[in-house]
Structures are given as C-alpha cells and as structure tokens.
Amino acid sequence: MSDRSYAILGTGAIGGFYGARLQQAGLDVRFLLRSDYEVVRDRGLEIESPHGDFTLPKVNAYNTVSAMPECDVAIVALKTTQNHLLPELLPPVLKKNGVVLVLQNGLGIEAEVAAIVGSDRVVGGMCFICSNKVGPGRICHLDYGMVSIGSYAPEDRPCGITMAMGQIAGDFKRADIPVKPESDLLLARWRKLVWNIPFNGLSVVLDATTDELLADDGTRRCVEQLMYETLSIAARYYRLIPREFVREMFALTTKMQAYKTSMKLDYEAGRPMEVEAILGNPYRAAKQVGVSVPRLEMLYEQVKFLDRSR
C-alpha cells in the first residue's frame, strides 16, 4: 500500500482523468481547480471511459495552492501556455523531498520545471491518450491511456530507471494506468513528437480530425513527411528512431476513434494554443543543429499566425 500523496495541478482532460484513477485506487489525491472549483467541490468528478464509467462524489478540491497540503508528487497537467504560473504553484505544494511529474506535450519543458525545483526532482511524462473535458468536473476518456515516464537530467542526459520513477510507476499500475518507464527521457519526448507535430499542427491549419487527415492521400503524405522531418531532428541529437516507427504511428492512429487534437480543441474554444512547446521548440532545435525542416517551419508559421489572429 502506497502512502504517497499527489497534487493535480490542472484538473482537465489529462489531470482529471489520471488523478481520478489514482484516487479510485485508494491514493491520497488533491486537485487544484479554477473555473470548476465549486462544481467539483460539491459534486466530485465524473469519468466516462470505455473501461468503465465511474464517479468520485467527494474529492479534495482546492482553488489556491496556499490551502493545499504539501504532497510527495505534484503532477503538472496544465497546458504549457500556463507554465508561467509554475514558479508560484509548485513550491507551496511540494514536500522538501517531493518530485514533480510533468504530464505535458512538447519539448524543453522539464528544464523549465528544474529551474524551479531542481533537476533531481523532475520526472517527465508522455500521455498516449484520447481524453476530453466535456463539462465542469466531467471527463470523457475515449481511448488508450498509457503514460511513458522518464527522469530528467541537465543537458537531457539519459538517467536510466530511477527510484522516483519506480515509485510513481507502482502507484500508476495500482490504479490500472498502463505505464512505461523510459531510461532516456529525450528519446521518449521525440517519439511522442513524431505524432504530436503533424496531427496537432495540421488539425488546426486544415480544420480536420485525425481520421480526416488520414483519409485524404494529400494530407496523409503531409503527415508522413512531417514525421520523417521529426525523425531527422532527433537523429542529430543522437536519438535514433527507426523509420518503421512512422508506420506504427499510422497504424495506431487508424485504429483510433475520430479525434480532435488538444490543439484543435484549444483553437476552436479561442484559447491560446501550445504552439511553442509542440512546434516552436522542435523547430528551434532543428535550426540549432542545422537540420532543414521546411514543412515544420511552414506549419509552425501558419499555426503562429492563426494563434495571433484571434
């Protein structure tokens, strides 16, 4: 039985789902909320999932970090557009020996968190999940759910499997959350970007769901070309991803339900999009090592334009 406590910073499609699963398994979980605070405080969280719907009628809900008890693991599930808030959110909720699990999309995120809490207290996580927030305190989990986790080190050095990773992985397994410990966090980040760059960016520019992008020969080629460009950047950082991985991503997405990416949902709702974390940082990483990525460059500029134009 684990006695670790968790704080969920960002109770949306990701934080709400995984936090609810952890509480359902008997772990001590506290949820930070803003607009949904009163609803969740009074009614709890409702999860719809193909693995079984469930409701947590009572959760530990907070609307300020100053009121939250210190925790062992703080899960950052905010959008990266809100990371400027982390210097005020993390220190009050984290125990002296606590760690931060960063469940966010993109590249270069862990370094920002390490600057706040220290490099040895940061674990990165990549969520392979289709999940949406459909109302106050209501999360709809559509498909998948695996989390890959890896410890962070300065200059993105591989860390192997650390004790903190093992403890978190144990808690996730207890909650029936599929989890994969990664010995090389940067490699895992690039593998996730192989999917995130084309599908998030093109879904906004072309106003399309994942199935629509794959159904058309032209857009399917665009997805494929962007994936290969991502592989070429990763290779220059000595993270080799086999070309067969592209076919695996196509097969995985073909089996997926018709899905609106997180970036498309943000665009439709008029919210800031995670342009820099998902597109800008990989593009700048390519420039830094002299890799030509014309399709990524164009996609990045197009999505930036759409983000600004609102």
Q: Is the CB of residue 168 less than 8 Å from the CB of residue 174?
A: no
Active-site residue 192, yes or no?
yes
Annotated catalytic residue, options 58, 133, 173, 192 = 192
Q: What is the CA radius of gyration of the chain?
A: 19
Asked if residue 58 lies in contact with residue 41, where contact means CB atoms within 8 angstroms, the answer is: no
Residue 222 in contact with residue 295, Cβ under 8 Å? yes
Q: How far is CA 150 from the centre of its chain?
A: 13
Q: What's the CA gap between 54 and 52, in Å, rounded?
A: 6
Amino acid 211 reads D
Spacing of C-alpha 218 from chain mean position: 28
What DSSP designation does 152 have?
A: -
Q: Within the chain, where are the H helices? A: 15-24, 37-43, 86-93, 109-117, 163-174, 185-205, 210-215, 217-236, 244-255, 262-269, 275, 281-288, 294-309
Burial bucket for residue 251 (CB in 10 Å: 0-12, 13-18, 19+):
exposed
DSSP-assigned letters across all residues of 88-149: HHHHHHEEEEEEEEEE--SSSHHHHHHHHH-GGGEEEEEEEEEEEEEETTEEEEEEEEEEEE
User: What is the Cα–Cα distance from 159 to 174, expressed in whole angstroms?
Assistant: 24
Name the CA dihedral angle for 195, 201, 202, 208, rounded to a multiple of 10 degrees.
Answer: 90
**Annotated catalytic sites, by residue?**
192
